[in-house]
Amino acid sequence: MSGLIKTREVIEAAVSIEENGYAFYKSVEGAIDDKDVKDVFSFLAGEENRHIVAFKKIYEWIDDQEDTIIDDEDSSNYIKALAEKNVFTKKDAANDMVKNIKTPFDAINLALNFERDSILFFNEIKSFVSQDNQDLINKLIKEEHDHIVKLHNLENQLKK
């Protein structure tokens, strides 16, 4: 994996991750019978949808001066690796994953992994955008933290 990437490409990857996360949460919502699980996954789908809108705004706000090539090949390769290893960068990954869910705990574990991967990716990409956009990404990261807590609480509730 070599080659340099531009800031807009990084934001496009973030949009893709969020879109596939949304598809996953909506699919789980439709596949699980437990009302509490449905409610949490419905909420998370809505959150991912808001994040899609936010990243698309960042993409639009990036001007030609800011859309620079990330000229450090190590950083460029690291960001690409993070994006490619995120469970939701591949189109239709959500539908494939939902097919393998046997219990609500399976869905929660997949969601937790997605949220953790997203936080890691978002932390890395924020250094490539303006301060205003960094502040927005920090807000999205905080929301991803809240999602992890919500999923953890759901898991504990189901164990009782």
What is the pLDDT at residue 111? 93
- Where do the structural domains in the chain lie, given as residue ranges? 5-159
Structure tokens at 126: 């924020």
What is the pLDDT at residue 1? 41
What is the pLDDT at residue 107? 93
Greatest mean pLDDT among 9-13, 22-26, 77-81: 22-26
pTM of the predicted model, to two decimals?
Answer: 0.83
The angle subtended at Cα 79 by Cα 16 and Cα 28, nearest 5°, is 35
Residue in 102, 54, 58, 72 with CA at minimum distance from that of residue 5: 72
CATH classification of 5-159, choosing from 3.40.50.1820, 1.20.810.10, 3.10.50.40, 1.20.1260.10? 1.20.1260.10
Bridge partners of 69, per DSSP, are: 6
Residues 97-147: tens digit of each pLDDT: 788 888 999 999 999 988 998 898 888 888 777 788 888 889 999 999 999
- Are 81 and 75 a contacting pair, CB within 8 Å? no
